[in-house]
Structure 1
């Protein structure tokens, strides 16, 4: 999971239903962290997209998965859930401009699997700082020059109800402890 909006008691009139009022206080989230109150979103705001030629690409030593298989990953998740609670992870959507169109950059693993860069957050780690750490570990320069990642927005939140692969863009109503 990453940052998200939560319905709370600071809502517009209507018997406790609706969106949080502008300027309401941050409310505790499922994992105990607090997120700022919702601000109006201007969906027409400009986003700077830079040409792919502005970036350089090289090779790095391969990064290996922590777990040898999917079942091993979910077994590790079960064990860690008892110790640290809900797993939180982040992924970055890197946009560039090429051939007059926006493109999303993906990491290629093997010959047929592509994914967004990111990974698991450390216990108590801030989402933005964790994403910057993971982007630097995965994509950062190896010559020691500091990377300046700019994280613009949270564009989605996904929840895992069980120790299984499916994730959902909402917490199913019968789930009280997302994994």
Structure 2
């Protein structure tokens, strides 16, 4: 796998626990209703996610978030209408995995600031949600001219010694790239495509 930026070992990073991060919806039907309301108010929803690669025991691994011991997702999330994809992704990463300035001790804040911030690199894939359902596609079907959501996945460079503050109701896993290959049954089509993206 070739990149034009350094990939650091997993053991270079510290992980601490922070307060739980509440989910917006209690059920799939609640989420669909919220999607419809948001679409009527501001149009197509945009989201950005981070493809973060580290090494562990000599193999490339992808950092993923597991929510409530259930599904896996890449770090990131939904953007405000006024945010660019790149700036919004940094904001979501800081909200989701950043050290909270209001509660963290000064030495931890100083260490994390010294380490540096996330660096959003190139967009490596785009996914479309044509309808108000759970399905994303790596293309926009020709019969759908008004998708309900677009998701962009960006390579994100980690500075050495970054500190991750993981919400108590989530887990941050490093999954080996070879485990994702052809494994849509467990991780979904986006994750199964990551080995192909990284091999380019």
Residues 1:153 and 2:127 aligned together: no
Superposed displacement of residue 47, structure 1: 3.3
Higher relative contact order (CA 8 A, sep 6+): 2
**Corresponding residue of 2:55:** 97
The two structures, once aligned, show a CA RMSD in angstroms of 1.7
2:28 is aligned, of 63, 70, 74, to 70
More strand by proportion, 1 or 2?
A: 2
More helix by proportion, 1 or 2?
A: 2
Aligned length: 137
Instruction: Provide, for residues 16-45 of structure 1, a one-character-per-residue CA deviation record: whole Å limited to 9, x for no partner.
Output: xxxxxxxxxxxxxxxxxxxxxxxxxxx955
Instruction: Provide, for residues 126-169 of structure 1, a one-character-per-residue CA deviation record: whole Å limited to 9, x for no partner.
Output: 00100000000011112355451111121110111110111111
Residues 106, 45 of structure 1: alpha-carbon distance in 2 compared, 3 angstrom cutoff: closer
Residues 1:51 and 2:9 aligned together: yes
Equivalent position SS for 2:48: strand
Instruction: Provide, for residues 94-121 of structure 1, a one-character-per-residue CA deviation record: whole Å limited to 9, x for no partner.
Output: 1111100110011121223221111100
TM-score where L is the length of structure 1 = 0.72
Instruction: Provide, for residues 59-94 of structure 1, a one-character-per-residue CA deviation record: whole Å limited to 9, x for no partner.
Output: 011111111111111111111111100000111111
Larger radius of gyration: 1
Distance of 1:121 and 1:60 partners within structure 2: 22
Distance of 1:149 and 1:45 partners within structure 2: 16
Equivalent position SS for 1:151: strand
| Structure 2 counterparts to residues 158-177 of structure 1, below 5 A | 158-177=127-146
Structure 1: runs of 5+ lacking an equivalent: 1-42
| Structure 2 counterparts to residues 1-179 of structure 1, below 5 A | 45-142=3-100, 143=104, 144-145=109-110, 146=113, 148-179=117-148
Residues 167, 48 of structure 1: alpha-carbon distance in 2 compared, 3 angstrom cutoff: same
